[in-house]
Structure 1
Amino acid sequence: MNRFSFSTLVGITVAISLFMYAIVSSTNNYLMFISVSSFALVAGSTFAASLISYTTADVLTAIKALFETLFHAPTSSKHLRGHVERFIEWGSIYRQQGIAGLESSLTDKERRDPFLAHGMELLSSGYKNHDIRTILTDDMDAFWQRMTVESKVLNTMAVYAPGFGMVGTIIGLIIMLDNMNGDMAALGKGLALALITTLYGVVLANIFFRPAANQVTEKQESLYFRDQMIVEGFVLLAEKRDALFMQDRLNAYLKPSARYQPIEEEL
């Protein structure tokens, strides 16, 4: 299960708070920074251009990933250590009770993990260690290729948003100049209103789209690393390696301070 990301929440909160503080400390006319039509132009045009660049499913998946930035992928050191401990337990069960005992030991959470479920399916089908490594690695690489589309779409949105902000500004300037009729007093107010779309575009790109794209990429890299460890775990299960060897081999994926060591302590 994904954990709530307090760092992301703090980052967004600080960014928006500083943005609002800059406005509040500089002017009493706060409402001039609110324009539904300007926001609709920037957000709607960015969404439309993304639909032209990618499929509807890819764009909707990327937007979903944007909202999921408030959650961490299950790849913390504690989570990885739990996998090491679990594979050592499975190794003992597999050597003593066979595949039937191994399958019955799975928790509901483990059964819902598609990569773990696939590994168990291959093991129960009688595949050898090298075949399990090949198939799971292909599965892992294919998943990586599919998921990179999310970050590509979000990065594309980060590029489009400021551009459409400038388009809105140009439209506003044209309208402002057309309606001036020699009234220079209206120039400042009209120019400020025209620049709001550029502001919205830059804010959306640099507070939401681009950071979300970076976090999606970080999550994918973390999951890829976790899956590499899981692949090695299933290979060790297929080879029916002893608990100490599995511990030492899988601990290589953990930083020294988080490594699983109870077997050595018992010795």
Structure 2
Amino acid sequence: MFSFSTLIGFIAGISLFVFAVASSTDNHQIFVSLSSFALVLGSTVAASLISYSTKDVLIAVRCMAATFFHAPTSQQHLNTLVARFVEWSTVYRSGGIAALESSLTEKEQKDDFIRNGIELMGSGYKNSDIRMMLTDESDASWQRHTLEAKVLNTMAVYAPGFGMVGTIIGLIIMLDNMNGDMAALGKGLALALITTLYGVVLSNLFFKPAANQVTEKQETWYFRNQLVTEGFVLLAEKRDPMFIQDRLNAYLHPTSRLRPVVEDF
């Protein structure tokens, strides 16, 4: 699902930056330097590769690109999950695990967490064992994805630092080439500061927001998995649909909760 809030925020940030430049000077080209951008971004990635494995860095970069998409963890999605567990209760109590597996939609079959819950039920594990195993899986997933946010936060710290490195390099070159020409001081200083600008922009408009969104996604996904875990435990206990609905309604916002159902048996 596309995240319009992320797109709007990104466009707004870039637009404000462009507006500030366009309204302040006619010399727009001075803000464009591929070598400075390559220095900041390349050094940030290189330092990240030193700090973490190549796989972790690549996954973090992919997660940053995925910030324009959000996990299906809205109240509507959670409401649908509760309704599905209410339906599955009737299916499981009447047809067993085979009927439950047959009732899954194509999207649900591709959901690893839901599929694992059904497999655990089919293996005959006790309710406490199902809760323990699904909770362990959810915790492990949380730990794996926490590293992605950590990598992005690290990149957010490195970028401004390497921007300053680029500025220092530019100042050294500028001072070496002045040859007593003080008129070139202002222009040279402006060029030297571009790397710092790039570092700050990359950090605050890309890396930090991406890290925060990865963390937010995992928090909401973890909450969703808690609901699913409790749902499978209730299914394994063969609780009636009304009990399951009332129990899982606790995970929903009061305005999104399902209304009481009446059993047909």
TM range (shorter): over 0.9
| Alpha-carbon contact 2:160-2:200 (below 8 Å) kept | yes
Gaps in structure 2 of 5+ consecutive residues: none
Determine the C-alpha separation between the residues in 1 that align with 2:262 and 2:30.
67
1:110 counterpart = 2:79: no
Equivalent of 2:41, from 38, 43, 53? Answer: 43
1:58 counterpart = 2:60: no
For 1:19, the equivalent position in structure 2 comes to 17
Determine the C-alpha separation between the residues in 1 that align with 2:187 and 2:11.
29
Determine the C-alpha separation between the residues in 2 that align with 1:192 and 1:69.
33
Determine the C-alpha separation between the residues in 1 that align with 2:49 and 2:204.
21
Deviating beyond 2 angstroms after TM superposition, the runs of 4 or more aligned structure 1 residues are none
Equivalent of 2:236, from 235, 238, 261? Answer: 238
Secondary structure of the corresponding residue to residue 72 of structure 1 = coil
Determine the C-alpha separation between the residues in 1 that align with 2:123 and 2:86.
21
Equivalent of 1:185, from 159, 183, 186? Answer: 183
Determine the C-alpha separation between the residues in 2 that align with 1:257 and 1:264.
20
For 1:146, the equivalent position in structure 2 comes to 144
Gaps in structure 1 of 5+ consecutive residues: none
**What do you get for the CA RMSD once the two structures are aligned?**
1.1
Deviations 1:198-243 (A, max 9, x none): 0000000000000000000000000000000000000000000001
For 2:195, the equivalent position in structure 1 comes to 197
Deviation at 1:116, TM superposition (A): 0.5
Deviation at 1:265, TM superposition (A): 11
For 1:263, the equivalent position in structure 2 comes to 261
Equivalent of 1:225, from 198, 223, 227? Answer: 223
For 2:159, the equivalent position in structure 1 comes to 161
Deviation at 1:264, TM superposition (A): 6.3
Determine the C-alpha separation between the residues in 1 that align with 2:81 and 2:107.
13
For 1:250, the equivalent position in structure 2 comes to 248
Determine the C-alpha separation between the residues in 2 that align with 1:109 and 1:21.
43
Equivalent of 2:168, from 167, 170, 187? Answer: 170
| Alpha-carbon contact 2:242-2:260 (below 8 Å) kept | no
Secondary structure of the corresponding residue to residue 252 of structure 1 = helix
Secondary structure of the corresponding residue to residue 109 of structure 1 = helix
Percent pairwise identity: 70
Determine the C-alpha separation between the residues in 1 that align with 2:124 and 2:259.
30
Q: Which amino acid aligns with 2:213?
A: Q
Deviations 1:107-162 (A, max 9, x none): 11111111011101001111111110011011111111111010000000000000
Determine the C-alpha separation between the residues in 2 that align with 1:94 and 1:65.
37
Equivalent of 1:88, from 75, 86, 89? Answer: 86
Deviations 1:9-38 (A, max 9, x none): 000111110000000000000010000000
